[in-house]
């Protein structure tokens, strides 16, 4: 098989979009319609959980993990479009706030792991019982959502509360 589905998240996109690409095609040509739908010309392209932006001229096949084959059902390419080089993340827990910069393509799962385990020193069990909630809301993004989709366009930042997974109603 010489085609692959590319899952795209980013600024100005309300949902995860899917583009189909030939392996020899460039990322930019595969995403031309999606990029146009954002109405922005200053977008950067990131591979999920990678720190640096990549060129739109990169060939799709070069973005796949080594040894990956497009025919493999588990082989997917997840990209992020952003106007930010990084996202300033703040996580509040028990009256403390931890901050760190992440690439816009970092997933909620990655930010959660950093906050719960590294910043606040939770055990794996305690960490599993907590989730990230966007401050000032009740929105609890799924683990595979890129933080760049939650950040403001002008400030390239997002703030979360680390809250118990289950709410006890009394």
pLDDT, one tens digit per residue, over 19-43 is 999 999 999 999 999 999 888 888 9
- Does 22 share its domain with 78? yes
Q: How many domains does the chain have?
A: 2
CATH number reported for the structural domain that contains residue 138 in this entry: 3.10.20.90
Q: Give the three-state DSSP class for 61.
A: helix
Structure-token pair, residue 47: 């591979």
- Does 131 share its domain with 104? yes
Domain for residue 170, yes or no? no
The answer to whether 18 and 7 are in contact (CB under 8 A) is yes
β-strand partners of 77:
6
- Does 101 share its domain with 77? no
To the question of pTM greater than 0.75 for the whole model, the response is yes
Q: How many other CB atoms sit within 10 Å of the CB of residue 70?
A: 18
Tens-place pLDDT, residues 113-141:
999 999 999 999 999 999 999 999 999 99
Domain span at residue 136 reads 87-164
- Does 92 share its domain with 154? yes
- Does 14 share its domain with 63? yes
Structure-token pair, residue 53: 């932006």
């Amino acid at each position: 098989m010489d085609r692959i589905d590319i899952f795209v998240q980013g600024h100005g996109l309300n949902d995860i979009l899917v583009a189909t690409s030939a392996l020899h095609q460039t990322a930019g040509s595969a995403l031309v319609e999606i990029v146009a739908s954002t109405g922005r010309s200053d977008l950067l392209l990131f591979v999920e959980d990678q720190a640096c932006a990549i060129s739109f001229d990169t060939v799709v096949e070069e973005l796949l993990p080594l040894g990956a084959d497009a025919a493999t059902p588990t082989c997917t390419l997840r990209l992020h479009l952003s106007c930010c080089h990084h996202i300033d993340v703040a996580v509040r827990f028990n009256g403390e706030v931890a901050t760190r910069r992440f690439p816009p393509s970092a997933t909620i799962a990655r930010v959660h792991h950093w906050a719960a385990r590294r910043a606040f020193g939770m055990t794996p069990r305690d960490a599993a019982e907590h989730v990230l909630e966007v401050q000032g809301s009740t929105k609890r993004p799924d683990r595979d959502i890129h933080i760049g989709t939650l950040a403001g366009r002008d400030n390239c930042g997002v703030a979360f509360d680390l809250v118990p997974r289950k709410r006890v109603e009394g």
